Structure 1
Amino acid sequence: MSEREEAPGAAEVRRARPEDLPRVVELITEHAVYEKAAPPAPGLADRLAALLFGPEHPRLRCFVAALPDGTLAGYATCAPELSTWDGTEYLHMDCLYLTEPSRGHGLGPLLITALRTEARALGLPELQWQTPTWNENAIRFYDRLGATSKEKRRYTLRAEA
């Protein structure tokens, strides 16, 4: 994928850079509030830096949506994962978030395009993700893209007893 997805003077989607991390953490915090979740634990920027920019190939990938003035208005993160049932890898989109004023201006499709391009570059056949069942705007957006959904619940269980 090229560093820029749009012409100069337009909004762009690009890979996150280390200097973007403070704003990405702000966006993640906004995203948690939007989804009625607990805020990120302290030290998130350091943990993300290791996952995104560590010495090994990145475990996590992050793309940011930048407005023409350079303000980061959203982000999407993804990582390769495995499907036992299909016996294949896929690209899992963990998060996609745009600030409220940035929604409806074409940034969401640009982020999805960047993730689809990343999946192809990694040789992965598809992109998978989930969204809360109450997030009707996101569901309409994903439906407009032609995505299909499966009804499942997501569970979390701490590793320590």
Structure 2
Amino acid sequence: MAAAAPPPPPTPAPEPAMGPPEDSPVGHPMFARIRLATPSDVPHIHKMIHQMAVFERLTHLCSATENSLSSTLFSPTTKPFHSFTIFLLEVSPNPFTDSVITDPSFTPVVKVVHLDLPIDDPEKETFTTNAVNDVSVAGFVLFFPNYSTFLAKPGFYIEDLFVRDCFRRKGFGKMLLSTVAKQAVKMGYGRVEWVVLDWNVNAIKFYEEMGAKILHEWRVCRLTGDALEAYDSSNSSETYHCARSS
């Protein structure tokens, strides 16, 4: 009988792959910043308002111009968080190097978002705010104070929250809404509220995931246009009579 063949030599263990640790972020980093808007941002804000009107199918109601926005949102009497306030969302593939603290009451919020794929922005040149650092506007939120008599506290009412189409579903809307909510908490305010179109199921789901309660029992009432102008006292000849009963 032939002798058994010797066992093969042990296979050397594979070399460990040299790469980032498991908990290291991968993908394409995008730097996001939320700052207070300034008058120079009005052209970008106006363009986004029009895009929002197109999305909501309400362009026939949108008559805002750059001049009217400038005069009402950035008048000498407006003060951030005590009047109309806009947070602007900027994005860049590079870290922000410029200082944008325009008011001591708010420090810009900066976050790094790691994306699986880079974002193709077809309107990048239109919304660029800093060509040197490749910074562009991606969205905004406009809000102002209101008041709750039940809570006996002020609050914030969000008029508009908008993220440009190519930047949606990346967490930027959550970043904008969270920044408003954090500012409300910082100021001791009692609530933040807004309205949503009933057909916008994606927005409704997003707001519910953020912890918002959809108030189905409430309806928005509005006086505007001719109905509001009818209350112009200078053109009104209406008189009121009070009849005394005997």
For the aligned pair, the TM-score class normalised by the smaller chain equals 0.7 to 0.9
Q: CA deviation at 1:95?
A: 0.7
Larger radius of gyration: 2
TM-score, structure 2 normalization:
0.57
Instruction: Report what 1:16 is aligned to.
Output: 37
Equivalent of residue 41 in structure 1, options 63, 82, 106: 63
Instruction: Report what 2:89 is aligned to.
Output: 65
Instruction: Report what 1:102 is aligned to.
Output: 167
Question: Greater CA deviation, 107-116 or 121-130?
Answer: 121-130
Distance 1:72 1:142 in 2: 22
Instruction: Report what 1:154 is aligned to.
Output: 220
| Deviation per residue, 1:62-97 (Å, 9 max, x gap) | 011112132211110000012234333210011101
Secondary structure of the equivalent of 1:157? coil
> Residues 123 and 46 (structure 1 numbering): CA distance in 2 closer, same or farther, change over 3 Å?
farther
Contact 1:29 1:39 in 2 (8 A): no
Instruction: Report what 1:3 is aligned to.
Output: none
Q: Which amino acid aligns with 1:160?
A: E
Instruction: Report what 1:131 is aligned to.
Output: 196
After TM superposition, where is structure 1 displaced by more than 4 Å over at least 4 residues in a row? none
Distance 2:189 2:66 in 1: 28
Matches within 5 A, 1:78-93: 78-93=143-158
Contact 2:50 2:62 in 1 (8 A): yes
Question: Greater CA deviation, 106-115 or 80-89?
Answer: 80-89
Instruction: Report what 2:187 is aligned to.
Output: 122
Distance 1:79 1:55 in 2: 16
Secondary structure of the equivalent of 2:166? helix
Distance 1:51 1:134 in 2: 30
TM-score, structure 1 normalization:
0.85
Instruction: Report what 2:18 is aligned to.
Output: none
Instruction: Report what 2:141 is aligned to.
Output: 76
Gaps of 5+ in 2: 1-28, 93-133, 231-246
Question: Greater CA deviation, 21-30 or 33-42?
Answer: 33-42
| Deviation per residue, 1:40-71 (Å, 9 max, x gap) | 315x3233323432222332000111121322
Question: Greater CA deviation, 22-31 or 110-119?
Answer: 110-119
Distance 1:83 1:29 in 2: 31
| Deviation per residue, 1:107-135 (Å, 9 max, x gap) | 11110122113223433122111110111
